[in-house]
Every structure is written in structure tokens, then in C-alpha cells.
Amino acid sequence: MTTTGGNSTSPGLVMIAGGGGFLGAATARLMASGGWKVVTLGLGAPQGAFVREGNVHHAEGLIQRQLFHAAMADHGKPDVIIHAAGGASVGRSWDDPRGDFNLSVGSTVEILDFIREEAPEARLVLVSSAAVYGNQGKDRLSETDPCEAMSPYGLHKHVCEELVTGEARMNGLDVSIVRLFSIFGEGLRKQLLWDIMRRVSADPETTLDLWGSGEETRDFVHVDDAAAILAMLSAKPGGEGTVRLFNGGSGTAISVRELASMLVKAAGYDTPLSFNGKARSGDPVHLVADATHLRSDLGFSPKVSIEAGLKRYADWFKTQQS
């Protein structure tokens, strides 16, 4: 426990790299509500009432060790560092592989340097991606399956995993790695759901043409549930020199066709769908988690169903159009 003033205590101080992003902000909000002192780092601060309440502080700048040094001087040594920064798009990684490398691998090196120099007892939670698995053709993927990334994005995430694993082995770092699957929720202004809502709301009478066959399967996890996974790992030490690896998914498969149909209906439209049968580079046919380890070791189960999450997303999207 870390004393935060008077007789009150908190679970500790957590620094969240990329804390202004979609997942980082949700995690900051959840952990602040749980009593953590939260410091977000990166380009862009999280927004919302939870920031104004004073439990969240922000250090603005590139994810470099100097930024962590400055944050530590202002707020103290971290008990936990969550690395939620880095590349966030398969498509962009093809357009700019070097930039994606610098965002993901470069930031990981900077964080490890800071931990080595100033906070060797801090626990590190690394946000990775199911993209490390590639296109294996399996209905469900477990943590023991090989990593066969088929995009620069997935390859760079795997390199980050290897870096933090090596640090645990060589210097006793306590590491947790979460390979997140398809994160969605209110506030996400990119990827499939955003694209569907943007196009359907603009022209609900015209057939919506989408990539692929529609039979591709994905594992969608609401951002609130993804944040809960990170918070649970932050609160539960693994032990010096240990590496815990988890699939961050629900374990429930949904086809892209069914997903799109559910979202369109949740938004109140009756737009017909069609699929062009073409696969995009880096898009596997199936990307669904075997979430057994997550359930058995952390006791995690999703709180937001796909149906409820899609309705919330559709309702939120409509507020952005006014």
C-alpha cells in the first residue's frame, strides 16, 4: 500500500504510457476509481470528469525515459507501469513500418531503460496484440500457439514481448503480457465499427459493401473489460523474474457478417450488406481467443456483452453527429 495523505491509502502509483489513448484513458479512469494514484504519459491527456477530480495526473511528451524521470520527480516512484503506447494499426504499419517500429519497439526500450535505472521493483504490464499469432487457421488461439505475425504491426508487438521477457530473465523484472483481441467501445473513431456507422448513417438505403467473405471470425472485447484486465494484473504481482502471458479476449467468436448486421440493427437501420470476397493484407481468417488462462488465473469474465456493447457504440456514435 502507498500512503497518499492523512490516514488514507491507495493500492499504489501506476504510470500509464499512452494514457490519453482509447484503452489507456479507460484504464486510467477505472484505476483512479479504484483508489490508484494515476499518472498518464504521452502525447495527449485523457479527458473526462475523472481527470478533473484530481486522481489522474498527466505528463505530456514522447514516450522516452526522460518523460518518466520527470513524472517520477513530480509524483514519486511507480509501483506499476502499464505500457499501452505504440503502434495501433495494422494498415498504418504497412504504410510506415519504420514509424511503427519506433512507436512500439522504441517506446518499449525507453521504458525498460527507465525501469532499469530508477524503478527496478516496479511491475510492468505490456499491452500486446493477437496480431502476433498471424493467420494460423485455428478456431481459437491459445498462449502456447506459435507467433507467426503477418504484418509489421504484429511482428513489432512480438519483438516487444521478447524484450520484456528478456528483461525479466536477466534482471528479475515482474512482467505481465496481455495479447488483446478486438477492442471496441464508445470513443473509438477508427476500424470496422466506426467505418460501418459512418457509412451507414450517411446513406442507410444503399447496400453496405465490406471486405472479405463475412465469415471471418473475431473476438470482440469492450474497452471497459480490457481495462479491467489491465487493472487486475496491476493489482496482482506475478513475482520477481516472472512473465505471465494472457490472451485478452472473451473467448466468444462472432463472424464479421453477424457483427455488422447486429451493429446496423442496433443503430436502427435496415441496410443490406454485401462482401467483396477479398482479404486485406495482414487480416487473418480467424482471430479468437482461448480465454481459459485468463478465467482460471485471474477469475476474469467479460461484463459487457457484444449485444450491449454494440448498442452503446451505436448510441454514442449518434451523439457525435449532432
| Average pLDDT along the chain | 94
pLDDT (tens digit, 9 = 90+) per residue, 64-98? 999 999 999 999 999 999 999 999 889 899 999 99
**pLDDT per position as a tens digit, 287-299:** 999 999 999 999 9
CB-based contacts of 307: which residues, under 8 Å, 6+ apart? 262, 266
pLDDT at 3 exceeding the cut of 90: no
> For residue 17, what are the contacts with CB-CB under 8 A and spacing of at least 6?
24, 41, 42, 63, 81, 82, 83, 84, 85, 107, 111
User: Could you tell me the CA-to-CA distances from 80 to 28, 148, 177, 193, 231 in Å, in that order?
Assistant: 12, 30, 13, 32, 10
Percentage of the chain beyond pLDDT 90 is 90
Q: Is a pLDDT exceeding 50 seen at residue 34?
A: yes
**Does residue 6 carry a pLDDT above 70?**
no
Give the per-residue pLDDT at 226: 98
Cα–Cα dist 194/185, whole Å = 10
Q: Which residues contact 19 (CB under 8 A, 6 or more apart)?
A: 25, 27, 28, 38, 39, 40, 41, 42, 45, 46, 56, 58, 84
CA dihedral of 187, 125, 252, 257, whole degrees rounded to 10 = 40
The pLDDT tens digits for 127-172 are 999 999 999 989 999 999 999 999 999 999 999 999 999 999 999 9
Q: Please tell me the predicted confidence (pLDDT) of residue 57.
A: 96
Identify the band that residue 9 occupies on the pLDDT scale cut at 50, 70 and 90: low
